[in-house]
A = this chain, B = another copy of it.
Amino acid sequence: MTMPVRDMLKEKGISPSYTRQKIYEFLAASTDHPTADDIYRALIRELPTLSKTTVYNVIKLLCEHDLVKPVNMSSSEMRYEVWHEPHSHFRCTVCGTIYDIPPIIPRYDAKRLEGFIIKDEEVNLSGICPICQQESTT
């Protein structure tokens, strides 16, 4: 069912170096939309010579081949996720975590947007996540 990462990269025309596999695997296993620095810090143990430059290079490559998608909800740093079935995002304004939530399909009147070619739609919610609510009551 799940294709090995090696083959998945090859299929997209990316030569599956060990570093690239590891970065993709880390992103695929993440649910919290890591930053480039998160990826770097998570893999530096296993890949002691890893550099931030390589992380950025690989992310860029994966994005260009539509294996990874940038998530632009936090203002300062870019976050990333692997492409997966449609979903929306919820950002907690307290802890900054971005959660995947069930897909919200925006309904709009196409006639009022005549002339615009719409290629992507996203719905972003924000507020306070369950964890931060609990912490504020204790």
Contacts and interface: CB of A to CB of B under 8 A. Distances in A.
Interface of A: 70, 72-73, 75, 78, 88, 90, 93, 99, 101-102, 104-109, 112-113, 115-130, 133
A101 B105 CA distance: 17
A115 B127 CA distance: 11
Contacts of A126: 118-121
Contacts of A115: 129-130, 133
B107 A118 contact: no
Sorted from nearest, which 9 A-B pairs have the closest CB atoms?
A115-B130, A119-B127, A117-B128, A118-B127, A104-B108, A117-B127, A106-B123, A120-B126, A104-B106
Given A102-B112, A115-B130, 14 more contacts: A72-B72, A90-B113, A90-B116, A101-B112, A101-B113, A102-B108, A104-B107, A106-B125, A108-B123, A113-B125, A115-B133, A116-B125, A120-B127, A121-B125
